[in-house]
A and B are shown apart, each in its own frame.
Chain A
């Protein structure tokens, strides 16, 4: 049994007098992807913000790669955040910077050399299929392109942990599919640990039922079948700040719980 990369223990978070998370505990192992589903306002995005240290829990503990980050100060969070990448709901690209500068942001921060930056930015944009957009401003991009640039920006330093906050919300099916495939490839080929927050069950089941294979240089995507079942992706269903289901997609589909049935319908 490998040690947990991310772990939450009895985490409570309140906004004003509203309790968003009410004793949430779960762990994500290396290479595993946790899909957090739940209705709007159930505290899904809050979990990601807590893991990133953007907000602090009111109670409970949070561990990243074994280190407790619950009470770390902003200054001490920097080295923890270097191990994580995050894709925000609305992309959150810096609108005063070009696509190149957005993607390269982290590299500038750590003082990477100019020619290496250029090369890595091109590689990163190549991964999301947006090399042509390198000199554009974020305002010139469509929603789907922004989301892919945001993905490239989060991935530039190849973090072993990725947090996705509804990366496909509001996108058309083709673009969503493209983003899902990128995330599957990261999980299966690069062994990236992930937390994927969504309320779109279609995307969640895609992630839980397809896998990527790296055959002679080009990546192919296959669907799990009777003789192969994806074990590195688990669901977590939130309701009113509590986890009411945790497990693989097969169990989730078979659940008799009326709320879960209604959620999947």
Chain B
């Protein structure tokens, strides 16, 4: 039983287990004791730690988006709308999704491997034996921290992405910075910004819940830790894209 073959049954079980963990984490978050310090430690490690890589990907996403949009829009004689195309795609879709995928790869995998290692070395059992509920001590701080930090990281990614677009449009495409910025900012509506922040909130919770879930069901020693880490990234990424579709569908109804 080395590789788990994909089956509908396994997928349903997975969703069920994650739902249980979500419910337990939710209840645990409102029950004493609260591990406030652990939340801040996680916020720093997930948020501050992921900021450089998220901003870097944001920059290049904005830059390449500008190149491609300008190229297409010029054919219709609408290169002046480049800023609009870039800001809407970035804030609605690419900022939240690409940022979350990066955090899933960086922080979600880290959670799975850390919790997985703690599980196989019996540290999780030791924690329980000492009277701590691992859901409260390990899962809740990670979920809360990622859910808070992901929208903030997305704002950073969006901002740097727009600046990347600005750099490309002024330096390479000879669109004036004024024109780029005014069309970029005019195009955005409140619902775009709301949706663009709601998505990373949900994605952040997904990353942490999947990461913790995969870590805490690790079996089979250190080899199992590697397997859990991979699964955490793959499952979180798939769920992020699925929920992105779902949320986009809902948000667009109100646009």
Contact = CB atoms under 8 A, between A and B. Distances in A.
Interface residues of B, number: 16
Contacts of B131: 78, 81-82, 106, 109-110
**9 cross-chain pairs, A with B, having the tightest CB-CB distances, nearest first:** A92-B126, A92-B122, A86-B129, A81-B131, A78-B131, A88-B122, A106-B130, A54-B125, A92-B123
A92 B125 contact: yes
A74 B121 contact: no
28 contacts: A52-B128, A53-B128, A74-B128, A74-B133, A74-B135, A75-B31, A75-B133, A77-B128, A78-B133, A81-B129, A85-B129, A86-B126, A88-B125, A92-B121, A92-B122, A92-B123, A92-B125, A92-B126, A93-B123, A93-B126, A94-B126, A94-B127, A106-B130, A106-B131, A109-B132, A110-B131, A111-B33, A154-B129
Contacts of A115: none
A93 B33 CA distance: 22
A82 B128 CA distance: 10
Nearest to A97: B123
Nearest to A106: B130
A99 B23 CA distance: 34
Given A92-B122, A95-B123, A54 B132 contact: no
Nearest to A79: B131
A84 interface: yes
A90 B124 CA distance: 13
A88 B128 CA distance: 12
A98 interface: no
A92 B124 CA distance: 8
A185 to B, nearest CB: 22
Kindly name the residue among A49, A74, A82 whose own CB sees the greatest number of chain B CB atoms within 10 A: A74
A239 B132 CA distance: 33
Nearest to A111: B33
A81 B133 contact: no
Contact of B129 (A52, A90, A95): A52
A153 interface: yes
Given A52-B129, A94-B123, A106-B130, 20 more contacts: A52-B125, A75-B31, A81-B129, A81-B130, A84-B129, A88-B122, A88-B125, A88-B126, A89-B122, A90-B121, A90-B122, A92-B122, A93-B126, A94-B126, A105-B132, A106-B131, A109-B130, A109-B132, A110-B131, A154-B129
A217 to B, nearest CB: 31
A54 B127 CA distance: 10
A224 B231 CA distance: 57
Interface string A98-114: 00000001100111000
A54 B121 contact: no
A49 B121 contact: no
Contacts of A52: 125, 128-129
Given A74-B133, A75-B133, A54 B123 contact: no
A247 to B, nearest CB: 29
Nearest to B41: A96
Nearest to B122: A92
B128 A153 contact: no
A139 to B, nearest CB: 12
Nearest to B135: A74
B130 A153 contact: yes
A54 B128 contact: yes
Interface string B12-52: 00000000000000000001010000000000000000000
Contacts of A109: 33, 130-132
Contacts of B33: 109, 111
Interface string B121-156: 111011111111101000000000000000000000
A19 B60 CA distance: 57
A77 B128 CA distance: 9
Nearest to A80: B131
A105 B130 contact: yes
A111 B123 CA distance: 21
Nearest to B24: A74
A86 B129 CA distance: 7
A39 B128 CA distance: 27
Nearest to A55: B125
Given A74-B133, A106-B131, A109-B132, A49 B123 contact: no
Contacts of B31: 75
Contacts of B128: 52-54, 74, 77, 81
A90 B132 CA distance: 19
A52 B123 CA distance: 14
